[in-house]
Structures are given as C-alpha cells and as structure tokens.
Amino acid sequence: MKANESPALQGRVVEDEVQLTLLELCQASGAPRERIMTWVSEGMLEPVGDRPPDWRFTGVSLRRTRLACRLEQDLELNPPGVALALDLMDEIMALRAELRRSGFR
Amino acid sequence: MKYKDYYEILGVPRTATEAEIKGAYRKLARKYHPDVSKESDAEARFKEIGEAYQVLKEPDKRAAYDNMGTQWQGGQDFQPPPNWDAGFEFNGRGGNAGDFSDFFESMFGAQAGGARGRSRRPMHAQGEDHHAKVMIDLEDAYRGASRNVTLRMPMTDASGRVTTQERTLSVNIPKGVREGQHLRLSGQGSPGVGQGQPGDLYLEIAFRPHRLFRVDERDVYVDVPLAPWEAALGATVDVPTPDGSVQLTIPPNTSAGRKLRLKGKGLPSNPAGDLYVVVGIALPPADTPEAREAYAAMQLAFHFNPRAGF
C-alpha cells in the first residue's frame, strides 16, 4: 500500500505531553489492570493520585510497563523479580550514559 | 521447510525432564532476551528458544513432536508425515501469532501460538493499540521532519491463516523528540469492534548511530581534536553541530578531555539541551627532519615532565 497523499500524521510525544489513566495505561501497554495495580504496590510504577480511579501515570510509565510485561512473560519473573530487573536496568542505563559523556561509545 | 531440533536449540537431551527443560529455557531466555542481551542475534535466538520451549514444555505437544521420530537433523528439509498428529489435541497459550517458524506453524498451526485473550470479546470494544519502532537521524530531531514509516502487521484472514500486511504512513517527527520517547498517533491502531473506537499507534523513537555525535537525553557530545599549539595558545575553530557548524573559541592552556559547553546547542526543547565539545589533542607525526627538530626544540624549551606526579 502506498502512502496517502494526505498530509503527514501529527503525533503527540507521550513522555512530554501525555498523562495516562489506569485504563489508558492498560490499553496502551496490554497489561491487565490487576498486574498494573500489583506493580504500583511494588513501587515500580508511581502514579500521582490517591485512589486507582484518580491515578495519573506519566508517559515514561508506558515504556516501563511494556518492558515489565515482556520480562514477566518471557522470563517467568514474579513481581519483585520484575521490579529488581527494572531497577538494575535503570542503573545500567545511567552507567552507559555516564560512559557516553566520558567519550566511550 | 526446515526441521527444527527443539532439543538441540535448548541444549538438552531428548530424555530431559520437564524441570531440566524449564531450567535450560530460563537460562537461555535470560541470556538472549532482547531487552537485556547485547548479543547481535539476540532477537532471532530468543524467538527460536521461545518456540522450542512452547513445544517441549507441554506434554501433549512434546509427545507429538517426539512421535515424528529421531531421524531428523536440525535444518534438514522436512515434510510432516501423514497423520503424525492423530490423537493429539493442542491448547493454544502464550506467545504472539506470527512469531513462529513455518515448521512450528505447519505442525501446531498459527493458532496454537495463541493470539492472547481474544476469545471473549464484547460486542463493542476499542481496537487494540499497536507499537512500532522508528529510526530517525539526529538531524531530524533538531529540525523536525516528515518521514514515511512502513509497518508490518500480522493479520488473521477469513480462513484463519496469519498473513503480514504492510502499510505506509507519513508521520511528522516533532522537533526536539528524544531517543526512547513515544509518539502517539490517535486512531491508527486496530479498528474497533462494533461501535468501539479504533486503537492508537505508538511509535518508539530511536536514533541511528551518528558518525560524529553522541546523545545523552537533551545533551549532545562531539569530540574535537586540536593541534597542540591550538590547545596551548588558544584558537578559534569550526565545530560541527547537528544544525550546521559554529565557531568556538578555545581558551589558552586547554587540556585534553576538557569539556566546553555550547549552551542551548543540544536538542531543541524547553529548555534546550547543551552541546558539549570534548577536546582531544592530536600530535603531528615526527616524520621529517624539520618536525623532529621542532619537537627537540620543545624539549629544550620546556623541561617538562608529564610524570612528575608519580
């Protein structure tokens, strides 16, 4: 199929411009609601708002949630295992960024 | 179609217990998981391992697979013998349709891979959201750009076969977008069911590696080599940025490794990132008598011991 002649699609940058409700995060990540609630209670996702209907997740949560889903399914990890893996991966990313700043690729 | 030796893929003997198969799978899955692994063929290996485990972990699939006999070698041309699956029943679970080899699909069917949780869909439902990755150049993020993005989506046709459909979208890449961010394109996911809304399409942004620039969030780094006299005496040099070259003043006595910041010349944003020039010093080779003389004259002039701190 060829690209339409219509003007280019305009997207929104999720991380900068979008906040997600619990329902939207479920839909966008494919994760079941109960699973996201577990991950919130593990401190792995930190929405603002007191009760689940008021929760608002930052756009960054989407990437984290999708990564968590893949790790859980593919490596058969339990919630604390997923949380540990994500923390360690954050640390590796920070160390790699530090290396890049110092001139290593 | 090639025969797949699932035991060989997991590195276990045909007599392996369920526990051994699970252990072998988990170890390999951790090693080759595309989110974790740095191996170049991680994604392909991971799919292969996952497929092998799908078959060997379930006693009925494993029995059917074993029933084909042991005379096959991995990679050998293969046609399933007639009635090889008579008397076996498979229940689909886990995995994504379209991710399996021809071999797997001819044996267990694309459905056995299992589209997840689709059996009890309500009359009206929002279409599924889709995700894809799009590679752009750093320059596109500096200026904004319009890019054609080709997406391949597994679709199930009327007869239940999984085919891949391609579509091309023209997408505006907003100025200032950063690596790892997602663009949400409303309504570009799967069509809704009944009166449900269509899903959204999320594009994850990745930058192609650049010959000159490294990117850290909003900041951009570039290595700039200087001649020893430029670093020592100061100079004005042309420095490349993703937005064209700029003139940079090098202060006298600049040492190697020093970072000079060009404020606001990183990725455009609010506030914009910075561009860091990481200074290197390139030594001219001493390959002519004049060059050797010049170095000898430096030696006399400086009485310089770079290892004085040892």
Q: Tell me the three state secondary structure of residue A102.
A: coil
pLDDT of residue B37: 85
B35–A100 CB contact, under 8 Å: no
Domain containing residue B242? 213-302
A90-104, B97-111, B146-160, B250-264, range with greatest mean pLDDT: B250-264
pLDDT of residue B81: 61
A8, A9, A63 member nearest B182 (Cβ): A63
pLDDT of residue B99: 64
Q: Residue B149: closest CA among chain A residues belongs to which residue?
A: A3
**Residue B91 belongs to a domain with what CATH number?**
1.10.287.110
Quote the percentage of chain B above a pLDDT of 90.
47
Domain limit, last residue, from B159, B192, B207: B207
Q: Mutate one of A6, A24, A74 to test the B interface: name it (highest B CB count within 10 A).
A: A74
Whether residue B95 is predicted with pLDDT greater than 60 in this model: the reply is: no
Segment among A43-52, B30-39, B116-125, B178-187 with least mean pLDDT:
B116-125
- Give domain status of residue B260, yes or no: yes
Model confidence at B91, pLDDT cuts 50, 70, 90, reads: very low
ipTM summary value: 0.78
Reported as a single tens digit per residue, the pLDDT across B181-237 is 999 998 888 888 888 888 889 998 999 989 999 998 899 999 999 999 999 999 999
pLDDT of residue B147: 87
Model confidence at B84, pLDDT cuts 50, 70, 90, reads: low
Same domain, B17 and B85: yes
Same domain, B240 and B256: yes
Same domain, B261 and B202: no
Whether residue B76 is predicted with pLDDT greater than 60 in this model: the reply is: yes
B171, B178, B182 member nearest A8 (Cβ): B171
- Give domain status of residue B292, yes or no: yes
Same domain, B54 and B104: yes
Model confidence at B72, pLDDT cuts 50, 70, 90, reads: low
**Residue B249 belongs to a domain with what CATH number?**
2.60.260.20
Q: For the beta carbon of residue B22, count every other beta carbon within 10 angstroms.
A: 16
pLDDT of residue B151: 82
A13–B177 CB contact, under 8 Å: yes
The total domain count for chain B is 3
Whether residue B112 is predicted with pLDDT greater than 60 in this model: the reply is: no
- Residue ranges per structural domain of chain A: 14-101
B29–A74 CB contact, under 8 Å: yes
CATH architecture assignment, domain A14-101: Orthogonal Bundle (1.10)
Q: Mutate one of B18, B32, B36 to test the A interface: name it (highest A CB count within 10 A).
A: B36
- Give domain status of residue B161, yes or no: yes
A15, A73, A89 member nearest B181 (Cβ): A15
Reported as a single tens digit per residue, the pLDDT across B119-165 is 444 567 778 888 888 889 999 999 998 988 888 776 667 777 767 77
Whether residue B291 is predicted with pLDDT greater than 50 in this model: the reply is: yes
Same domain, B77 and B12: yes
Same domain, B19 and B108: yes
B89 vs B249, which has greater pLDDT?
B249
- If you average pLDDT over residues A70-87, what whole number do you get? 90
Domain limit, last residue, from B207, B239, B257: B207
Looking at every residue in chain B, the average pLDDT score rounds to: 84
Same domain, B200 and B235: no
Give A 79-98 residues with CB within 8 A of chain B.
Answer: 85, 89, 97
A104 touches chain B (CB under 8 A): no
pLDDT of residue B94: 39
- Give domain status of residue B199, yes or no: yes
pLDDT of residue B63: 87
Whether residue B96 is predicted with pLDDT greater than 60 in this model: the reply is: no
B129, B166, B185 member nearest A9 (Cβ): B185
Model confidence at B25, pLDDT cuts 50, 70, 90, reads: very high
Same domain, B15 and B99: yes
Give A 16-35 residues with CB within 8 A of chain B.
Answer: 16, 18, 27-28, 30
Same domain, B202 and B218: no
Domain limit, last residue, from B62, B85, B113: B113
Same domain, B228 and B203: no
Same domain, B185 and B230: no
pTM: 0.71
- Give domain status of residue B158, yes or no: yes
Same domain, B20 and B102: yes
- Give domain status of residue B25, yes or no: yes
- Give domain status of residue B60, yes or no: yes
